[in-house]
Amino acid sequence: MTKPQPAFSLPSVAAGDLTSDLDLTVEELQTLLDLAADVKRHPGHYRTALSGRIISLLFEKPSLRTRITFEVAAKQLGGDAILNTGPIGGREPVADVARNLERWTDLIVARTFDQKTVDDLARFARVPVINALSDMYHPCQVFADMLTLREHWGSVVGRKLAFVGDGNNVAHSLMLNAARLGLNFACIIPPGYEPNETVVAQAREFGQATGATVEVTTDLDEGLKGANAVYTDVWASMGQEHEASERARVFAPYQVNTALMAKAAPGALFLHCLPAHREEEVTDEVIESSVSVVFDEAENRLHAQKALLLMLLDGPAR
């Protein structure tokens, strides 16, 4: 019996790491999405692709989707994963953590409070490092989001995605990847909660090349006009719990409910990175509606991360 072969030659990522979304070129981002779709359609073709490979999972923050999808991805590709929780640089310097793990495992996945921790791991480790969430970026989530939108629309080019809520790590990764893929983006936020200015400038520069617009506004009507998808996230992320009551007051007018969805284009999809605080940033009526694709996004975390592992581990060892 002939062994099934992957449809892709599994090109490597030139940067060698994924510390932020921009470690992937536009071409590599498109390849990752194409590969993720193929992995999803033909999982058997990749069942032994990472045979003998072990990945380290370093998690400073609690996790359901990120932890389990990376563990399942490694195992379904023929490899395995080891989890360590708690502060990454708590007992010893991050540099020492990196130089230990590179001796034992083939890749490091880090879910951290501080972007610097991810950057330091990549600086000192001679194996690939993946940002599985930091205070600045959440690339793995957004790769899954873009895969989900492609599945529902065929192409994201010329469509519009509106993000409603805090100008946080998810908003940063969404605007960077949307602009690079030709997807118009609006970030609708209360005053004082704007996204990072440098990230916005980078996204707008990418948009000049693809024709995508990047808008930051406090006006719901303006931002949601013509939106083909509406995305939200929790109002207070991990580490911001002390701000929860104040944020609940400020963000209340930005709750994604039926009235807010009606401001978007007819049939607009609803997205959320999960976990959702139901009846806070989104109502049950919206998240359980026929336009909600939140569990498609969650499923696609697995497939997008499989593609990322394949691309990062296919190149020569450093």
Answer whether 166's CB lies under 8 Å from 233's CB. Answer: yes
Q: What residues contact 98, with CB distance under 8 A and at least 6 apart? A: 108, 120, 121, 123, 124, 125, 129
Joined tokens for residue 234: 């929790």
Contacts of 278 (CB under 8 A, 6+ apart): 284, 287
Catalytic, 67? Answer: no
Active-site entry in 65, 111, 159, 272: 111
Catalytic residue among 38, 140, 233, 303: 233
Q: What angle do CA 261, 267, 272 make, to 5 degrees?
A: 55
Closest to 157 measured CA to CA, from 182, 180, 175, 132: 182
Q: ∠87-92-96 over CA atoms, to 5°?
A: 110
Catalytic residue among 67, 150, 172, 301: 301
Please say if 187 is a catalytic residue: no
Q: Does residue 301 have an active-site annotation?
A: yes
Place of tokens 């359901």: 64
Active-site residue 141, yes or no? yes
Whether 240 is catalytic is no
What DSSP line would sit under 218-260, residue for residue? S-HHHHHTT-SEEEE--SS-TT-GGGHHHHHHHHGGG-B-HHH
**Which residues are known catalytic residues?**
111, 138, 141, 233, 273, 301
